[in-house]
With several copies, the nearest count.
Chain A
Amino acid sequence: MQRMDNDLVIRIGGESGEGIVTTGEVFARIAAFAGLEVYTVRTIPAEIKGGHVMFQVRASQNSVFSQGDELDMLLAFNQEAYENHAHLLKPGGILVFNSDELTPPTPQNGTAQYGLPLNELAKSISFVRGKNIVAIGALVKLFDLPYERAQKVVERQLGRKGGELLRQNLQALETGYKYVEEHISRESPFHLKGREATEGDRLVISGNQALSLGVITAGCKFYAGYPITPASDIMEFLAAQFPKLGGTMIQAEDEMAALAMAIGASFTGEQAMTATSGPGLALMVELLGHASMTETPVVIVDVQRAGPSTGMPTKVAQGDLRLAVYGGNDEAPRIVVAPISVEDCFYQTINAFNLAEKYQVPVILLSDQDMSVRVETIPPLRLKDVHLEPRLLAQPTEGNGADEPSLHGYERYVDTPSGISPMSLPGTPGGQYTAEGLEHDATGAPNYTPEMHATNTEKRFRKIQGALEDARRWNMFERLGSADPVVGIIGWGSTSGPVREAVQQAQENGMRVAALYPKLLCPLPEEDIRRFSASLKAVIVPEMNYLGQFAEMLEPRLDVPVIHLNKYSGVPFNANEIYKRIRETYEWATEVGKEAERMSAAVALR
């Protein structure tokens, strides 16, 4: 009997090195090609090689925004995978396992199970390494996915055209497909109906890839960085592309060198950037202040990971918000932007460059481990709609006896109503000045008078206020849910996925709930946030950290109880955890006469 579903969660578990990630990624691509929306999540083992890996694909007819809570199918490559994950199978779910490696007990609660002799099948085609591709073939059949599309994906991803490897992979795919057809059931147990599938109307992409495309789209051609998980693949992406478009990628000796190089390049007029994770950002704090003081545009991507210290490089957290907003000796204005999804990584990267160039400040782009490595389907990028913001340059003029147009009486740090001072780039005659990290006068000459320091402090802070208007114009807000909410959620970053699903579920259950995700976090769009929360009874702030960093920034600015919802275990929220808190809060908020205890204390939720 075939199950018709429009939303399935498949988890694949096994030993690192068995090609689990490839299995998952290729399967996700096949599903996407078949018109499904996919959303993947994976774990990375602590071991450099070996260790247990899990890859999960959620595939659905409609857009999906979180990983999904329970499994419809588990593909267990070995005993450990079975032990780690089998308990998550839904009643009625299906266990698929490598019968050459394990013999699971007879299933309970209606779970079906199919053994695949993956080792034997791979051996039968003399391609021992190919057992994961055999498994993909089996999945394609089990899910009734179009075989020719599967073939196409394998051709694109797994070998050069006409090469031996590709031939073997295609053979492995067929072997798995046929095995299910012949030994398990001619009819696929699951059928997932896709959208009206037109080839290529979705991108299958990770957050770091979307971000890197954003970098190129924004016009950036200078990258300096130091490798660090989970940011390294941004560097590697740009290393492959930049040379083709006249750009420069330098692998620096450390994070301080990386940021210093980017600052230097920006001084000459380049749009410049670096990318790192928390430990690297921690090392950049001094130079961040330097970019702020010298008013040098630069973009710093921080793909957050769990800490503190080296922490858990392959696990997720949203713990760097305060470091991003406040990190600096004394007070160094900067802008902080946070994308909320894989797709949004593209658009917010462009916004980050635009804000850096416009306000001549460092901009920190806060991504996180979860959305950076996750591959999912997103709508095509709206390249045509991209708006680029130029840097304000001082305009040389003719005359004054000079041969070429030149700047006269140029003052680099001249105070202006907006706080933005026109910049002169090396090469511009008459525009000579020294970018200065000491407090300085309008020309850049060191100056420590109380008046100068006070005026400049105000100038530097006034400047970034302009970003609030841009955030509105460029729609750097995601608002979803009810139009007249009673309970609200205000969040940032990648928690938006599970929040979206939880809000939807709450609305379906009759609750008036809405969520606001500002993508500009510093300066904080207070007005917009206050407007959103004006009529609310309570605001829930979900964060993947312990202290409730964002919640604490909001509290002094809101007149409504702020409920901290914190998860600090290195794994993302699932929609249920959020939904549960919405329900509790909703009951509390709508129950008449109930004593309103102070609810703003952090309530830990693992």
Chain B
Amino acid sequence: MSIETAVLHEDKKLAAAEYKSAVKPIWCPGCGDFGVLASFYNALSELRIDPARAVVASGIGCSGRFPAFVEAYGFHGVHGRVLPLATGIKMGNPDLVVCAVGGDGDAFSIGAGHLPHAARRNVDITYIVMDNEIYGLTKGQPSPTSPLGMERKASPYGSIESPINPILMTLAYDASFVARGFSSRPKEVTELIKQGITHKGFAFIQIYSPCVTFYDTYKHFREVTAPLPANHDPTDKLAAIRLAMSEESLYLGVFYKKERPALDELVTSKRQIAGDSFSLEKLVNSYRS
């Protein structure tokens, strides 16, 4: 566990409720994001994270309102830029626990260009995507994970774009931790978040989080999700890919997990190569005539 710089003093622990901020969630009653938030509180509590040493960053969307509801430092960024924002936070102070959160539109539409790079850099952050397969905040347009043919005001004759497969995608990006949860299974989600936070490197967690107002998928996901086979070896990338491509079930659990140096570790190692013999005066003098 590489989060020791951000845990509370040995003898201290805060209850999940103590991670609740004074700001009241503005989500619709029944929104899946409530489940994710509760699991998040639990994960922080169980890991004994110090609220003053945790940062939750987000993009824009219903899900993007998340940070304000957590008793921690937070940053409500602009739409789609949460990964570079969180990267900057982590690299600005690697001692912090940094989580990035947001919706499927934020992550896979406007923010899609940042995901492969956060993954290949192996930035030590946990990225939680609350996937409701719809644009919630803007009132129900299809998102990159919406099923083909979805009828909404923006696609009255059925949408014409095939959905992406976020798990397969992040596996292809060589993200070092790839998992999926369902907000109605809070214990599992708590566990995934805990694993994501303790994983040293980029942890991607897709969480099905239904939008009761514009696309109520509770029943659907209860039917089509299933736990990953008990014998799945999360270090086996090809097996993970095969399971991510399954047409039978949408599997829940940790698809893949692999240790490799995180970005902050790599930066530190380069500093060692460069040495610490820096002198401003010497540098300036190298330009003397």
Contacts and interface: CB of A to CB of B under 8 A. Distances in A.
- Please tell me whether chains A and B touch each other in their complex, using a CB distance cut-off of 8 A: yes
Interface residues of B, number: 87
Interface string B53-92: 1111100101001011001111111111101111111111
A272 B92 CA distance: 9
B80 A268 contact: no
A260 B84 contact: yes
Given A426-B96, A435-B76, A254 B280 contact: no
Contacts of A248: 91-92, 267
B89 A257 contact: no
A49 B213 contact: yes
A235 interface: yes
Sort chain A's interface into a size bin. Answer: 35 or more
A438 B71 CA distance: 19
A269 B9 CA distance: 23
A398 to B, nearest CB: 15
Contacts of B277: 244
Nearest to A290: B78
Q: Is the interface of A mostly helix, strand, loop or mixed?
A: mixed
B110 interface: yes
A443 B270 CA distance: 39
A283 to B, nearest CB: 9
A443 B24 CA distance: 13
Given A309-B78, A434-B74, A445-B23, A264 B213 contact: no
Interface stretch (B134-142, B186-194, B202-210, B247-255): B134-142
Given A244-B278, A383-B281, A48 B62 contact: yes
Interface in A426-473: 426-438, 443-446
B112 to A, nearest CB: 6
B213 A48 contact: yes
A427 B23 contact: no
A240 B156 contact: yes
Nearest to A231: B138
Interface in A200-218: 200-205, 209, 213, 216-217
Given A243-B273, A272-B92, A426-B55, A287 B78 contact: yes
Contacts of B274: 243-244
B237 interface: no
B52 A263 contact: no
A226 B93 contact: no
Interface stretch (B25-33, B174-182, B219-227, B228-236): B25-33
A383 B28 contact: no
Contacts of B87: 250, 257, 260-261, 264
B76 A426 contact: no
B26 A241 contact: no
A51 interface: yes
B102 interface: no
Contact of B68 (A260, A262, A434): A434
B284 interface: yes
B110 A446 contact: no
A381 B284 contact: yes
B92 A270 contact: yes
A267 interface: yes
A430 B50 CA distance: 11
A263 B88 contact: yes
Nearest to B82: A260
A236 B280 CA distance: 17
Contact of B77 (A213, A265, A430, A437): A437
A65 B40 CA distance: 50
Contacts of B287: 203-205, 209
A377 interface: yes
Interface string A270-291: 1010000001000000110010
B4 interface: no
Nearest to B93: A268
Contacts of A205: 287
A204 B288 CA distance: 6
Contacts of A131: none
A434 B73 contact: yes
B201 interface: no
Interface string B261-289: 00000010011011111101101110111
B283 A260 contact: no
A473 B256 CA distance: 58
B41 to A, nearest CB: 14
B260 interface: no
B92 A241 contact: no
Contacts of A394: none
A253 B117 contact: yes
A258 B113 CA distance: 13
Given A232-B154, A261-B85, A267-B89, A199 B74 contact: no
A280 B122 CA distance: 25
B52 A222 contact: no
A226 B110 contact: yes
B148 to A, nearest CB: 13
A136 to B, nearest CB: 16
A201 B142 CA distance: 37
A32 B65 CA distance: 40
A294 interface: yes
Given A260-B77, A434-B68, A202 B288 contact: yes
Given A200-B289, A381-B284, 20 more contacts: A47-B26, A205-B287, A213-B283, A216-B280, A226-B109, A232-B138, A253-B109, A257-B84, A257-B114, A261-B84, A264-B85, A265-B89, A272-B92, A377-B289, A426-B93, A431-B52, A432-B52, A435-B75, A436-B68, A438-B76
Interface of B: 9, 21-23, 26-29, 31, 50-57, 60, 62, 65, 67-68, 71-81, 83-93, 95-96, 109-110, 112-114, 116-117, 121, 135-139, 141-142, 144, 153-157, 159, 161, 213, 267, 270-271, 273-278, 280-281, 283-285, 287-289
Interface of A: 29, 32-33, 46-51, 199-205, 209, 213, 216-217, 222, 224, 226-229, 232-233, 235-236, 239-241, 243-246, 248, 250-258, 260-270, 272, 279, 286-287, 290, 294, 309-310, 377, 380-381, 383, 403, 425-438, 443-446
Q: Which 7 A-B pairs have the closest CB atoms?
A: A264-B88, A434-B74, A265-B92, A268-B92, A243-B274, A261-B88, A200-B288
23 contacts: A33-B289, A48-B137, A201-B289, A204-B288, A222-B91, A235-B154, A251-B141, A251-B142, A253-B116, A254-B110, A257-B117, A264-B85, A265-B91, A267-B92, A377-B289, A383-B284, A426-B52, A426-B73, A432-B21, A432-B74, A438-B76, A443-B22, A445-B68
